[in-house]
Structures are given as C-alpha cells and as structure tokens.
Structure 1
C-alpha cells in the first residue's frame, strides 16, 4: 500500500451517505465519552461540521503513515527500521510474545495468519563522546548521538491494514474529545466546581482505560483485566454522579461549544509528527553517508499528561507462526544457562 493509497481508496469508495455515516458514528463515540453533551440544544447539528473538520484532518494524518512493516525474525535482517527499533531478532520476538492484545487477537481469529497492529515505543537520545573515521584519520572524543527505542507495546490488532488505519482514526477522534474535556476542566468560570472536578476525573479514568493516543502508541494505562474492570466501574460511577448534578442549561451549551471548538481545529490539538534520520547499524546518528548507514523515518505522538510524553510508533504486520508459545521470554540470564 503506497503512502496515499489508503486515503485515495477511501475517498473513491465513500459516497455522501458513507461520509454521513462516519460523522454519525463519531458523534456516538463523542457522546459515549461525554454523555451530558446531549443536554445542549441542537447538539447533533452543532457537532456535525466540527466532526467533519476533524475527520478530514485525521484522514490526512493517516495517509501520511507509511505502509505496515512486515515484522518478524526474518524481516529484522532486511528492514532497517526494525533493526533500529529492536537490538536483535530475539528482542523483537520477545516484545511481540508479551503483547496480550496480539495473543488475544489470534485467539479470537483462529483463521488469521497475521495481525496488523500499531507498535508504540519510548524513544530517547543518548549523547556521548565517540570515535569517528575521517579519511585515513581516526578522531576521538567526537560528540555523537544515538537513538534508543524501548518499552515496546503492541496495540490495536486488526485483520487488515485498512481496518487498522480506520480504527486509529477513531482513536484520534477520541483523543480530540479528551482534549476538549481538558479544556473545559481548565475553565473555572464556565463550569460548576463539582461538575468540573467530575469531568476532570472522567478524563483521567478514560486515559487509564486506554482511550485516545494511549490505545495507539501505549503508555501508562490499566493493562490487566482486573485493573480495566476496576476502571470501568469507576467510570460508571462517575457517569452516575455527573448525571445527578443539575446545572443551568447555559452550562451544557458552553460545554458543547468548548468541544466543538477543539474538533473544529484538530491540527492545534493532535500532536502527531514524523522524523527522518540517517543512522548506522549501532543507531548512531550520522550527518554523512557511509558504510552501514541508512535513513529511517518514524512517526511520533504526544500523549498529554503531567508531564506530557512523546512516543514513537509504526504500523506492523506480525505473522502468527512467529508468535512464541505461552508468552515465552528468553532473557539474557536464561541464555547463559542454555
């Protein structure tokens, strides 16, 4: 799939009725996150143009994502991106073996030979003094930078790349709603204090549940089944408490306006970008071409929080045949005993 094929195919296959259906689906997701918006007058008519603007921007972001990388031990040796993300093929296989979402996907889809997913990673830059060959001379104490990728998280498994991109689009819309809620909770003058605190708590719970960018690139969220069940119960209680608050009709109107303002200006609130660098086989950034050097491009997303964090991510396709049984993990200590 070429970089823009996904967007071109979507636009060709999407008559007005399907575009309207996407808008309606997005509004349903928005109301699931913030049900009280239904209390505002004409909420659907007011949401539609703002949602349409968000969808157009999200489609552009998705079209900028490169095709999924074929992930696996064999692919590692020929894909410079995978070599940058994972130190060895074993590290790659271990990361995918630990992915509960991937394992659950294959359990639910016994006929699926592969899974398309997002791979989220922490990315850090390490600055050090190294050695560099310049002609026939060896230079010492040269300032250098290496890229370190870690905390690999496999998220959002789908049967096809198109399905994966569509689901990423839904999660980006969710993130915009979370940004809108954050904007509301910071406005002390427009919301009653009790409602503001409950909305703030709701945003935090939704993030813990994995709503928004966390569901795409990973990060601190409730991963275990017991944790997720606890967070879900807290969300249900939060919704009941919000429903019991009686606010002036103008307050609901202002809440809807705040959400619409964010949705109508998605580029201001969605932090997704890309970075292209030239590195060698040790992940050291190089300014010039040389033996073993190659260019890689990866995308990154900002996860709001205190403090906010940035995580790199890529689309991957992982074959069922390379999933190690039972989440087997071979660490360095075990290798020493084999």
Structure 2
C-alpha cells in the first residue's frame, strides 16, 4: 500500500532534517506518495501567505502531513502557522513521548513519559482584545466541556493501548476555578471508565517541580493547551532537548507529524543539524498508520545508532553530518526490517 501524505519541509534547517527523516521512514519499505508544499516564513516570502491555500488543500486531500519546523515572528507579524493548522483541521490531541536515548545529555536515565496536550483551546485559541484608549490587552482562556472530554478520553484510551499504568491530570484549579476546575472535574468523571489506569492530578507549578526532581514517578500526563506547551518542553529537557523528541497532532480523521524544535536559521545549510526529532515524528506517523513493524524498526535503529555513538551529530558530541547520521540510521532500519 502507498500512503498519500503532504510533505512540508519548513524553514531554516527544516529541508535538511525532513529529507533525512524521509529517507529513514522510506527505508522501512513503507511507500509514500509525497505532495510537497510550503508553509512558514519561506512561503510568506514567496507567496505573501505563510500558509498558502495549496498547502491547506493538500492536507485536506491527504489527511496526513509530515512537516519540519516553521519560523514564527516574535511579537509582531503573522500568528503561528503550527497553531493555525491544528485549528483548521481540528487536531485536538498533541502527543509528545519523551524517552531517553543512549548517550544523550539529559539529567536523568531511563525517563519514559507520555504527554497528552489539548491542542485547540485555552489561551492559544487566540481570542484577544486590545483597548487602545486604556492600553489594556486581554486574552480569553476558553475551555469547553466537549474539548476537555475528548482530550482526556483520548489520553486514557491511548495510555491504555500503550500499556501505561498511571495518568496524571495537570491543572490550576486552585486559582482558575471555572476553567481549570471544569477540566479537573471532567477528568474525575471519566477516570472510573478506565479501572486499569491509576488516575491522579497535580497543580501545574507543583508538577513542574516534581518532573525535575523525580520524573520516574510519573507515566502519562494530560493537560490543557498552554500548560502542555510548557511541560512538553520541560519533559524534552529531561531526555536531551527538543532535538530528540517527536510530536503528533491528531484529530478525528487527520494527523500532522512535526518537529517540535525551532528552525535554527543560524545553522541552516551547513549539514550539521540533528534530524532525530523529525525521525521520531516519522516513527509516530508509522504507528498512526498501523505500520507497527516499520515503526519499531525506526525506534530500534535510533537506539542502535545512539548506543554505537560513531555517527552522532555535533550537538550530541559527535562529528557526523546530517547525511552521515541518516546513512547510519538507514542501514540499521534496513537491518531491522529484513
């Protein structure tokens, strides 16, 4: 079977790391028909639109996208295209596995966490107002019962599929009693439907402290949009940084798999970028498609290459180029796929 997918190389180092990840994914023997499209600052420079209609139409047709990092202007300019894509296609669940690889620089060994982040609501819904006369800016933290129910239920169901034993709901219900309070209440309502998973909750500031002291005590986490954005970066720091963690954005019948790190324009075109984050996102894409054997080959290949440590990129203390790192991964993927 050949899968139709939209391919968005992205900005900065995006084209390099995406090209490497595509090689690794295709080395499994799974076939893709890639429809390459633009998004981000490069698309804006070329077309005047950071998310061209052709890109939207492609994702609408394929219902599957694989993308590199996009540059978002800070403070001014267009809003995040990553957020726009999630909202356009109602990709309500952001899934972020954080698992330690050998020879990485994380402060802990053996970290294995799952984060489920609500992806379309909260402060990131972008409902903002500015009173010019009074110079007051407001943002609305919109939380809905429907949105809360579907991300919490998704987290329970996916955690159950993965054999996870504990799900921790993170909130700020002690202060945000309506928004955070409703999210927590819904979690407590759904939890009895999943007796095989221990359910508890933590206040966001306490959870941030807990994760940097004793991450091994946690298993899977579900939370709202902004808290999830913050915790996902924190968890990535526990396993070596954003350069080694993948990400999936999943809706009812559409999914986008992407790098979570930035576009790093300062090293673009130098052939030194680490493609691990996009490769791990490719592994997640394969699992989403039901190609579990291929996904496992990618996972094992990453562990092999990191354990061997002969083809690591400079950020990991090695001297390999992006292409050389991809070559090593392809060799190992083919060996595990044989």
Structure 2 length-normalised TM: 0.24
TM-score, length of structure 1 as denominator length: 0.24
